[in-house]
Amino acid sequence: MYSTAVLGCAWGDEAKAKIVDVLAKDANYIVRFQGGNNAGHTIKLKENKYVFHLVPSGILYPEKMCLIGSGVVIDPFQLLAEMDNLKAQGISFENRFFIDPRAQIVLPLHRELDGKAESSDSKTKIGTTKRGIGPCYADAIARYGIRFGDLYDKEYLQERLENIFKFHNYPNSEIDDVLNELILISEKLKPFIKQIPYLLNDATDKNILFEGAQGALLDVTFGTYPFVTSSHTLSGGIAIGAGFGKKVDRIVGVFKSYYTRVGNGPFPTELKDETGDKIRIRGNEFGSTTGRPRRCGWFDAVAAKYAAMLNGIDEIALTLLDVLSGFETLKICTGYKIKDITTNEFPSISKTLEHVVPQYIELPGWKEDITGITAINKLPMTALNYIAKVEELIGKKVTIVSVGPERGQTIFK
């Protein structure tokens, strides 16, 4: 058995799916272990663009097994819609797509609660994807949640629905509709339920690839709380979200060559000027799930080193390097000034992070279009310098450089 994890090391959208797609070639199982359909994972294959929300990105390879672990929260209506959409494009799920019965169900009431919280004008409005993710995880922890396995015992499901409806002061009169809809959908999903921990831990002759969603800085504990998602996005989340009891052999941290963030919360290197606009347009930085413009900024080595440490990464995949072509100079943040003190520790409190003054180094840029380059030594010297600086600041080697959205636009270093 050999296991690899591909984990976002910023605020999500680091092009994890592109890296998963490249590495899935050598994997037998591709596994999601946290998050839900707040994720938007894009793969571009020639003229086709696929955006995955719940289905692991490996499904594009016809022979791979794709698994959803217990740590994922699943909106079953959205999952079916996503599967139907992929089936219409010729992708088959039979005997190679499985969901752990422990995975929590995102109910319509979770979506409603998320929407309500987000429509208030409170100062701590998160800017969520409004997919019901936070309320669903909250109920899971409070033990009001409904899990996939519960769908197959009507009486018990009714009991669980009564319990959660009561907790949220929802009228009992709505239970029947939800119950009937869930039963209808559960029949369609029945062939796909399987205990994932046994599947994974018994896979002695298989290669397993864990596909992270979101990123380290959105982790519910170590991210920029409360402006985070509600799951454990770090490598530690694999054990609890997939029931994988072994050490992951290879942890690939995915870093964008610049930083982006969707939703609210501190972002020290954010560029609210035409440089930020230029990055947004060149990088097509609009959310894959909600279509919102992504906030853009310079590479933040303080945040990067923190994410690398938390995930225990072995190597770096540096993505979207092509977007940085055409800048006279490029900046990298190497420290935060807080009052009179410069630190390279990532603050634990968001309020502190909001007020740091990023300290930058400047590096020469490059003019060349690099989207067609496939060998590392063909990159402009200044791009190689940029990569070397990222390696030096994080303290790990860059092994994969992505210079475009296509599978082939990948340089192995």
DSSP notation for 258-292? SEEE-SSS--TTB--SHHHHHHHHHTT-B-TTT-P
Examine residue 129 and tell whether it contacts ligand IMO (CB under 6 A). yes
Examine residue 40 and tell whether it contacts Mg ion (CB under 5 A). yes
Kind of pairing between the strands at 341-343 and 315-319:
unpaired
Active site residue 41: yes
- Between the two ends of the chain, the Cα-to-Cα distance in Å is 24
Binds ligand GDP by CB under 6 A, chosen from 322, 335, 394, 398: 322
Angle at 348 between CA 217 and CA 73, to 5 degrees: 40
**Nearest-CB residue to ligand IMO?**
263
Examine residue 214 and tell whether it contacts ligand IMO (CB under 6 A). yes
Name the nearest CA neighbour of 232 among 258, 242, 118. Answer: 242
Examine residue 265 and tell whether it contacts ligand GDP (CB under 6 A). no
Which of 21, 26, 41, 110 is an active site residue? 41
Contact 354, 380 (CB under 8 A): no
DSSP notation for 96-148? TEEE-TTPEEPPHHHHHHHHHHHHS--TT-----SSSHHHHHHHHHHT---BG
Q: Which of residues 276-335 bind ligand IMO (CB under 6 A)?
A: 288
Active site residue 202: no
DSSP notation for 55-71? S-GGGGSTT-EEEE-TT
CB of 113 to ligand IMO, least distance (A): 11
Q: Which does 4 bind (CB under 5 to 8 A by kind): ligand GDP, ligand IMO, Mg ion, none?
A: none
Q: How far apart are CA 71 and CA 53, in angstroms?
A: 15
Q: Which amino acid is at 135?
A: P
Q: Which does 218 bind (CB under 5 to 8 A by kind): Mg ion, ligand GDP, ligand IMO, none?
A: ligand IMO
Name the nearest CA neighbour of 66 among 46, 86, 49. Answer: 86
The two structure tokens encoding residue 98:
């499985």
- Size of the chain in residues: 413
Q: Which amino acid is at 26?
A: D
Q: Which does 311 bind (CB under 5 to 8 A by kind): Mg ion, ligand GDP, ligand IMO, none?
A: none
Name the nearest CA neighbour of 237 among 262, 220, 224, 260. Answer: 220
CB of 131 to Mg ion, least distance (A): 13
Examine residue 218 and tell whether it contacts ligand IMO (CB under 6 A). yes
Nearer to ligand GDP, 33 or 360 (CB): 33
Q: How far apart are CA 121 and CA 40, in angstroms?
A: 26
Q: Which does 322 bind (CB under 5 to 8 A by kind): ligand IMO, ligand GDP, Mg ion, none?
A: ligand GDP
Name the nearest CA neighbour of 398 among 408, 381, 385. Answer: 385
3-11, 106-114, 269-277, 285-293 -> range binding Mg ion (CB under 5 A): 285-293
Q: Which does 320 bind (CB under 5 to 8 A by kind): Mg ion, ligand IMO, ligand GDP, none?
A: ligand GDP
Q: How far apart are CA 317 and CA 19, in angstroms?
A: 8
Supply the DSSP symbol for 347.
P
Q: Which does 160 bind (CB under 5 to 8 A by kind): ligand IMO, Mg ion, ligand GDP, none?
A: none
Examine residue 39 and tell whether it contacts ligand IMO (CB under 6 A). yes
Binds ligand GDP by CB under 6 A, chosen from 224, 229, 288, 311: 288
Examine residue 288 and tell whether it contacts Mg ion (CB under 5 A). yes
Q: How far apart are CA 103 and CA 96, in angstroms?
A: 18
Examine residue 280 and tell whether it contacts ligand GDP (CB under 6 A). no
11-19, 110-118, 144-152, 186-194 -> range binding ligand GDP (CB under 6 A): 11-19
Provide the binding-site residues for ligand IMO, judged by CB under 6 A: 8, 11-13, 38-41, 126-129, 131, 133-134, 213-215, 218, 229-230, 262-263, 288
Residues that bind ligand GDP (CB under 6 A): 8, 12-18, 40-42, 44, 283, 288, 319-320, 322-323, 402-405
Which residues contribute to the site for Mg ion (CB under 5 A)? 13, 40, 288
Active site residues: 13, 41
